[in-house]
Amino acid sequence: MPSALVTVVIPIFNQAEFVVETVGSAVRQTCRDLQIVVVDDGSTDGSADRLAAEFGDRIQLLRQKNGGPSAAINAGIAAATGSFIALLGGDDVCVDDRMDIQLEIMRTTTHDIVFSKPLLIDGSGRPLDDASFPVFFDERPDQPLLRTLLLEGNFLCAPTAFMRREAVQKVGLFRPGLIQLQDYDYWLRAAAAGLSLAETGPRVVKYRRHSANLSSPRASLASTAESIPIFKSVLDTGSPAEFRRAFPYLFEPVADPASPLTTFDKALFLLSHPRNEMRMVGVEYLVELSEDPDFLAKAERFGLQLPRFLQNAL
């Protein structure tokens, strides 16, 4: 298959009510050098059949057994030929010149992944006020993006993501085991690898809020549970220099910023986190250190009393 300039990856799952409008917004783009990859993740409502009948060979339609959102996105990435990869949710809608707008941003900046703030719409496509979903619109401090993401959670709208192929090759695929926070994990891994992520430009995607994608207590619990392995993994695999740049006041001083983070470094970061579940993981690391004779000897040399430190941290 010949290479495209932009590959649009659209994962769908039981979204028959919206998929024709969604995929149509990609087909109608003013940028014509597109590969549109739709991955049907085991839908049972006829979504894929509707798309096949409506668009035929104007799209590349992949059908697979239900494997979750990450598996669907990964299948789309695997099929992508584009120099750039744009994501779009199966119930969201692109403005007609989205790809041209984001291509121009990429051509005039060195960013690796760009996002925009979304236009909010309801299930019928009617506009919603920004205040109805403030996570995308709250004011945030001017600081390294990695710090903001780690301390405040995800505020980047995944269906607006536009990525250089080289960035995707560096970060890798989305983690299949994550159901709620797979995009948050991806942005953290990208930022912790030293890539440039930016929310910039006009709003280019209508992000649909409806009963099927509103948060529930079960989803909130799943998000909390997923955040723990995400944080552990990014602390283990991210660039130590990026963490030290994002939190210059926190870690033990070292001659080489690229030196691996110690268990104590990780404990300090987690114990300073505003979320309780992260502080509990910090306690876990301190318990581990309290059983390490080498660390205890070092702590004694520096006058650090681990039990008192732990009490104060909690």
Distance CA 157, CA 216 (A): 19
Distance CA 137, CA 202 (A): 13
Q: What is the mean pLDDT of the chain?
A: 92
| Tokens of residue 212, six digits | 């099927």
Mean pLDDT of 285-303: 76
- pLDDT (tens digit per residue) in 184-233: 999 999 999 999 999 999 999 999 998 776 555 667 778 889 999 999 99
| One-letter amino acid of 141 | P
**Residue-level pLDDT at 251:** 87
SS3 102: helix
The DSSP code for 28 is: T
* Domain presence at residue 162: yes
**Whether residues 232 and 207 fall in one domain:** no
Q: pTM, whole model, 2 decimals?
A: 0.94
**Whether residues 152 and 261 fall in one domain:** no
**Whether residues 158 and 52 fall in one domain:** yes
User: Which residues, in sequence order, are bridge partners of residue 115?
Assistant: 199
**Whether residues 177 and 241 fall in one domain:** no
**Residue-level pLDDT at 312:** 62
**Whether residues 233 and 189 fall in one domain:** no
Distance CA 310, CA 66 (A): 44
Asked which of 169, 191, 214 is the last residue of a domain, the reply is 214
**Whether residues 238 and 129 fall in one domain:** no
- Count of structural domains within the chain: 2
Per-residue pLDDT band at 131 (split at 50, 70, 90) = very high
- pLDDT (tens digit per residue) in 93-116: 999 999 999 999 999 999 999 999
Distance CA 68, CA 207 (A): 20
Please give the residue range of the domain that contains residue 15: 6-214
**Whether residues 66 and 146 fall in one domain:** yes
Give 257-311 as a 3 state SS string.
Answer: CCCCCCHHHHHHHHHCCCCHHHHHHHHHHHHHHHCCHHHHHHHHHCCCCHHHHHH
**Whether residues 268 and 188 fall in one domain:** no
**Whether residues 105 and 232 fall in one domain:** no
Backbone angles phi, psi at 111, to 5 degrees: -65, 150
* Domain presence at residue 220: no
**Whether residues 209 and 295 fall in one domain:** no
**Whether residues 141 and 185 fall in one domain:** yes
